[in-house]
Every structure is written in C-alpha cells, then in structure tokens.
Structure 1
Amino acid sequence: MSAVVGTQARRGRAEEVRRLLPQPLLVAVIVVLLVVVLAPVVYMVLASVNSDLGVASGEIWPRELNLDNYLKVWSTVELGRGLANSVIICGAVAVVCSFVSVSMAYVLVRFAFRGRVTILRGLLGLQSIPGTLMLLPVFVLFASASTLLGIPTIGTRWAVFVTYLTFALPFSTWVMVTYVRGLPRELEEAARIDGASSWRVLTRIIVPLSWPGIVVSAIFAFLLGWNDVLFASVMTNQDTRTAAVALQVFGATQETGALPLYGQMMAASLICAVPVVVLYLVFQRYLVGGLTAGGVK
C-alpha cells in the first residue's frame, strides 16, 4: 500500500513539473544543467589519463590512455598519508559532531531554562562570521595553550579536530533543533509514563528517530574538514597534513616547473573526490529527508 502511495506521489510531482515547463523546454534545461555540471568532471577524467604534454597543448581527447598517473600520484603527492589524515580527522569530527548536536538539540527543544533563546540566537548568529577572520585567533589560542600546558598543539591531529568541531557544531545543532522540533512528543510522554529517564528517552527514542538529521549533520561536518585548506595549512605539519593541503602543496610546487604534471594533478583530484561522492550515494536517502525536515509545520 505504501509503495503504491509513493508511486502516485512521484507521478503527481512529475505532472506538476510538466505543467510548469513544456516538455521540450524541460529537456533542454536538464541537458544544459548536465553539461555545466559534468563538463569539468569529464575533462578532469580525460586529462588524468592523458600525457602532460597533451594537456598542455590543449588536447581534450587523449591520443593514448596513460593510467600511470594514478600509480605515480601516490608517491609524488604523498596522497596516501593525506587521505588517511583526512579520513581520521573528518570522520572523528563527523561522529562526535552529529551525536553532540542531537544531544544539544534535545535539551534546547524539550527543556525550558534561562538563556535557551539566547543560545539558539547565538547558534544562528555564529553562521555569519567568516572563517578567515578566525584563523589568527585560533592559531594564537592553540599556540598559547601549548605554552601553558607544555604539550604540542600546532601540527597535531587533535588540534585540527577541535578546530573543525568548533566550526561544525553551530550549524549541525541548528539542523538538529529543526528536526527534533518535528518529532512527536507523545512517544516521549509514553516513555516517561513507563519510567524512562531523559537519557533513555534520548538514546532509545530521539536518536533512532533522528537518523536523517544526524546523517545531514555528520556529512556537513565531514565536508567542512575535507574541503578545508586554510586552517589545515596552518594547523598541520608534513606528517599530519590533510589531502586538501597535500594537493595545494603539490600544485604550488608545479608552478615553477617547465612542464607541470597535469595528469597527476587531475588524477589526485579525482581520487580525493571519490570518498565524498561515495558518501553522497550511500546516504542520499537520508540527506533528502534530513534537509527537508522541519520545512512543513
């Protein structure tokens, strides 16, 4: 029954789109969007299997396939270490941020206390602060902490983890606040009648029902660290640099060369994009539900 209802709903949405745009115009718009999105990706794929001289001369279609770029890049760019650091740091940020944000959202939505509205407004206001303005204060803060505590901070993975977690938590918490508001209170009240504590309500009811929102928060936190170059280039060293910084360093070293290694640069970029694409494909169903949650009251 639910499958039939879902099919009818999809057909209804498709008919609404056709009424808004004529069929030929709709096809033309879709083709243009696909070309705009896929053209750079196709060029990167072709350039990654082409010779450096062919890319430099403007060839789009390679004369012969050169798959050596995907093998050489692991030693030239030190991509393996960068990917490992990115996965460790960003994965930890995603897991911690998602579960901390759902806990904070549960407290902010379900409990009334002084300063609650101020915290919610602060979470929203923090999104307007550009990250570039926080680079110097964050660096000075960690450098001062290293001097006071006598432990290394700059150049360590945990310093980058704390930095990314700080910037990811406000948005993730706001997403979870919107999601938790849409959850039915009757389930929590029934659990309270059965003697469940607040912790049990959170772990047994709120978290299982909030998986779409949790996935959105986790993916946002993961991408924030995965795509970052500014903070990672300052807070890491050669052993702890992320994949994005490794690509930046590799690209900078090619500027002074006679013939840049275009093929390896494109191959490294595609390899770094694979985890993000896989992440979206695996959690696409949760992303749609999490991003649209709270849109209808």
Structure 2
Amino acid sequence: MSASTTSVRGTANRGSSGSAFRPGSRRQHEVTRLLPGPMLAIILTVLSAIVLIPVAYIFLASVNSDIGVANGEFWPSTFSLENYTKIWSSVGLAKGLANSVLVAGATAVVSAAMSVSIAYVLVRYQFRGRLTILRSLLALQSVPGTLMVLPVFVLFSSAASYLGVQVIGTQWGLFITYLTFAMPFSTWVMVTYLRGLPRELEEAARIDGASNLGVLVRIILPLSWPGIVVSGIFAFLLGWNDVLFASVMTRPDSQTAAVALQIFGASQEGGAIPLYGQMMAASLVCAAPVVILYLIFQRYLVGGLTAGGVK
C-alpha cells in the first residue's frame, strides 16, 4: 500500500514539475532560448541595421540628384523619380532584364526538374558507382568558377570550328554554362531532402500498382516542393547575379542585366559627375525580381510538406 502511494506521489510530482515543460509553454521557451531577451533584441537590431541602412541609402540616392549624391547627402533635398525613367534608355536595362529572366528562369526550371529525378535514383536505388557520384557532386562545389572561364570559353569556341555550331554570344550557350554549374548543388540539395521522405508512402503507391514513373510524379514531386524550390532559386540566383561568365559568353544583344549594369558603371568612371542616381535606380530594379521571387516562394522555403505524412 505504501509502495503504491509513493508511486502515485512520485508520478504526481513528476507531472507537476513536467507540466511546466510541456510543448509551447513559456518555461520551455525560456530553457531553449540561447540568449537573453534584451541581448537577442540588440543583436537582431544591429543585424537589421547592417542590411537595411545600405538599402535605404541606395533608395534615397536613386531619388536624389547626382550633385546631391556627390556632395554626400543622405537625405535628398528634392525627391524625383526621373532616374527610374532614364535608366531604360541610358543603361539599356530592358533588354538585359529580358535576357536575365529568360536564361536564369530556364536554368532554374530545368535544373530543378533534372535534379529531383537524378536525386531520386541516387537515393532509392543501389548500383555500382553510386557513392562515387555523390562524392563527386560534393567535390565539384569546391572548384572556383574563375578557374573554369577559360576552359569553357575554349570548349564553346571550338564547337563553332569543329561542329559548325555557334555557342559564344548566344542565350542558350549561357544557359548551358549556368546549368552545368547549378546541377551539382541542386542535385545534392535534392539528395539531402529525399533522404528524409518516408519510404512507406512509396511502398503504398507500389501496392496500388504505381510504376516507378508514377511514384516519382504522384508521390515524390508533390512532397518535394520545398527542396525543388530551394534548388530552383539557387540556380536562378546563379544565373541572375553572374557577371564573369555573362561578360565573356555574351554579345551586346544577348548580355544580361548584370553585365549591362557593370558596363554602365564602368562608363561613368572618369566623368565630371557620375550618374549616381541612375546607377542606384538600376541596382534596385535589378534586385527587385529576386525579392519578389523570395516573397512568392517564402512558404515553401520555410515549411515542410511531409509533416503528418506517415501516421
């Protein structure tokens, strides 16, 4: 009788002490928090200021006059959106933006579609050379892109001589270049993501008569949207922000927005008063598609679709 009473009391004591650590309780958040609240607020404020103050300065400079920016004015004396209308003729940004959207968008879509298929084979099937391929994908990420500029240029230039196919100066040549560098990382991201997907869902689909392609299309793709979005966004950013390969592999009619912005900035060197306002406005316009892309796919970047998939 005493043993049972002691057991009940011990259980009650553990329950009363453990209730403070139930999920979502304030006590649990206090225990798992790494930094005190005031220090955390200070750190977040400093980090936000490091990011937002330069962006605010770029925006204020874009609506300011060139003389005001040259004089070091942070707050413009007069606000004007004239710089945003001039960049389309002076910088030639319209053609560059169209080429960037076409090349970077195609790279993102094709890279995401190919990486999920390759990753599914590498994760779910056992064959000779599988580990070698996985290690090679990881090793390729350590090769600097600057070392590959000359080999890629020589290779694509030789295609015009030996095959009669013009690659240099074309949009699809730049697309192949970006796809080559985006595929290893995108595939590795999808390999890591697919390893966390439950096999029970695939087994249930196979019991229902689904083929390998049916499992990939009906089960893997719907559950892999967060990983697909991450790999696609990485490939898009690779093509959107690149200047090195785009400046070598393109011509004036196929140059991207990053190259057009670089050429415009270089043309302002040595002038009496550079067109600071137009450069700042062009920079914000080039950065806007990336921000919009993040806002659209934010829920896929921060969420998972497999929660509760297997009971």
Change (3 A) 1:249 1:17: farther
Give the equivalent residue in structure 2 for 1:217.
Answer: 231
Give the equivalent residue in structure 2 for 1:165.
Answer: 179
Give the equivalent residue in structure 2 for 1:199.
Answer: 213
State the 1:284 CA deviation: 1.3
CA deviations over 1:60-104 (Å, ceiling 9, x no partner): 100000210000000000000000000000000000000100000
SS of the aligned residue for 1:20 comes to coil
Give the equivalent residue in structure 1 for 2:165.
Answer: 151
Residue 70, structure 1, aligned to residue 71, structure 2: no
Residue 243, structure 1, aligned to residue 261, structure 2: no
Instruction: Name which one, 1 or 2, has greater alpha-carbon Rg.
Output: 2
Give the equivalent residue in structure 2 for 1:3.
Answer: none
CA distance in 1, matches of 2:146, 2:31: 41
Residue 121, structure 1, aligned to residue 139, structure 2: no
Give the equivalent residue in structure 1 for 2:54.
Answer: 40
Root-mean-square deviation (Å): 1.8
User: Which of 266, 272, 282 matches 1:252?
Assistant: 266
CA distance in 2, matches of 1:96, 1:13: 47
State the 1:22 CA deviation: 2.5
Q: TM-score, normalised on structure 1? A: 0.92
Change (3 A) 1:97 1:14: farther
1:19-98 paired onto structure 2 within 5 Å = 19-98=33-112
1:187 aligned partner, one-letter code: L
Change (3 A) 1:11 1:35: farther
Q: Which runs of 5+ in 1 are unaligned?
A: 1-7
CA deviations over 1:91-124 (Å, ceiling 9, x no partner): 0000000010000000001111111110000000
CA deviations over 1:140-159 (Å, ceiling 9, x no partner): 01001121121211000000
SS of the aligned residue for 1:62 comes to coil
1:105–1:177 Cα contact (<8 Å) kept:
yes
Change (3 A) 1:13 1:224: farther
SS of the aligned residue for 2:156 comes to helix
User: Which of 104, 107, 110 matches 2:124?
Assistant: 110
1:18–1:26 Cα contact (<8 Å) kept:
no
State the 1:258 CA deviation: 1.3
Q: Percent identity between the aligned chains?
A: 71
Change (3 A) 1:222 1:58: same
Change (3 A) 1:14 1:256: farther
Residue 15, structure 1, aligned to residue 15, structure 2: no
SS of the aligned residue for 2:254 comes to coil
CA distance in 2, matches of 1:19, 1:201: 41
Count how many residue pairs are aligned between Structure 1 and Structure 2.
Answer: 284
SS of the aligned residue for 1:255 comes to coil
State the 1:39 CA deviation: 0.7
Q: Which runs of 5+ in 2 are unaligned?
A: 1-21
State the 1:195 CA deviation: 2.1
CA distance in 2, matches of 1:242, 1:153: 16
Change (3 A) 1:113 1:289: same
State the 1:15 CA deviation: 2.6
Residue 134, structure 1, aligned to residue 148, structure 2: yes
1:89–1:157 Cα contact (<8 Å) kept:
yes
CA deviations over 1:209-264 (Å, ceiling 9, x no partner): 10000000000000001000000000000000000000000000000211100000
Give the equivalent residue in structure 1 for 2:248.
Answer: 234
1:97–1:218 Cα contact (<8 Å) kept:
yes
